[in-house]
Amino acid sequence: MPGLIARHGGVFVAVLAGHLLLLLALGLRLDWVPPAPEPGPSPQVEVIEAMAVSGEAFDRARQARLEAERQRREEAERQRQAELERQRREEAERQRQAELERKRQEEAERQRQAELERQRREEAERQRQAELERQRREEAERQRQAELERKRQEEAERQRQAELERQRREEAERQRQAERQRQAELERQRQLEAERRRELQEEEQRRREQARLQDEYIARIRYAVERHWRLPTGEQAGQSAKVLVRQTPGGFIREVRVEQCNGTPVFCDSVERAVRLAEPLPEPPDPDLFQREIRFIFDPS
C-alpha cells in the first residue's frame, strides 16, 4: 500500500482535497443561521461545485497500476530471456572453442602419428637393406657350404646305403618279432574271450539260481500262509489276492496289505489274518535273498 501511494500520490492528494472541501462546505452550511430576510429582491444563492473522485477513476488508476506492473514483469522476463540467450550463446561459443581445440589436438595427433609412421618406414627400409646385405653374405656362405655339403652328402649317401641295408635286415627281424607278438596277443585275446564267456555263463547260472532260490523263498512264505488260512464259512473257493508284506530280519511282520483282491472282503480279511498267523515268516536259504518287502499271489485253489 505505501508503494501504491508513492506511485500515484497526485491522484490521492486530489481526491483527499476534494473530500475535505466537501466536508468543509457541509459544516459551514450546518453551523450558519441565516438572518431574517429583509424586504427586497431575493438574494442570489452562490452554488459551490464539489469535486469527488468516482469509483471509475479509481478503477482506471488501479488498471494503470496493474498495467505498469505487467509491463515491469514483461521487461524483467525479457531481460531474463536475454540473459538466458546470452548464456546459451556463451555456452555454444565454449563448445565451439572446445570442438576447435579437439580438432586441433586430433590434427596434432595425426601429424605425430604420420611422423612416427614415416620414422617406422625409414627404420624398416634400413632394416630391409641390412637384411638384403646379410642375405647376400649368407648366400655366398651357403654356396661355399653347399659345395662342402655336396661332398659330405656323397660320403653320407654311401654311409646311408650301408645303414639302409642294416635297417632292412633289422626291419625284417622286427616284423618277424611283431608277427610272433601279434600271434601271442591273438592267443591271449582268445583266452580272455573264452574266460569272459565262461564268467558270463557262470553269472547267468548264478542269476538263475538266485531267481530259483527267490521263487522258492516266496513259495515257502506263501505255503506258510496257506497252512494258517481257513476258508471262511459261506465263502466259495477260487478267490485270490495279491498281498504285500513288510518284514524285518527274522521274519517279523511290520505291515500286511492286500493290494488286489478278486474275492469278497471277508476273504481278503482272512488272507491278511493268515499272514499274521504265519509270523515269524520263513527265513531265506541265503541271507542275501532277504527282502523287506515281499509281494506274492495268494491263490489257495
CB proximity list for 255: less than 8 A, separation 6 or greater? 244, 245, 246
pLDDT tens digit sequence for 233-272 = 888 888 999 999 999 999 999 999 999 999 899 999 999 9
Q: Phi/psi at 245 (nearest 5 deg)?
A: -125, 125
- For the chain, give every domain's residue range: 207-298
β-pair partners for 242? 260, 297
**Is pLDDT above 90 for 176?**
yes
In which band, very low, low, confident or very high, does the pLDDT at 30 lie, cut at 50, 70 and 90?
A: very low
What architecture (CATH level 2) is domain 207-298? 2-Layer Sandwich (3.30)
Q: CB-based burial of residue 275 (10 Å sphere; 0-12 exposed, 13-18 middle, 19+ buried)? A: buried
User: Strand, helix or coil at 246?
Assistant: strand
Q: Who contacts 264 (Cβ-Cβ below 8 Å, separation ≥6)?
A: 235, 239
- The chain-wide mean pLDDT, for the chain, equals 85
Identity of the amino acid at 64: A
The backbone region for 250, taken as left when phi is positive above 0, alpha when psi lies in -120 to 50, beta otherwise, is left
Mean pLDDT across 76-99: 95
Which pLDDT tens digit goes with each residue over 121-171? 999 899 999 798 999 899 979 999 989 999 999 999 999 999 999 999 999
Position 233 scores a pLDDT of 86
User: How many residues appear in the chain?
Assistant: 301
* Contact status, residue 294 vs residue 245, Cβ threshold 8 Å: yes
Strand ordering across the sheet containing 241-248: 252-261, 241-248, 293-298
The CA–CA distances, whole Å, from 225 to 219, 228, 229, 285 equal: 10, 5, 6, 18
pTM: 0.36
> Where do the DSSP E strands lie in the chain?
241-248, 252-261, 293-298
Residue 87 makes CB contacts below 8 A (sequence gap 6+) with: none
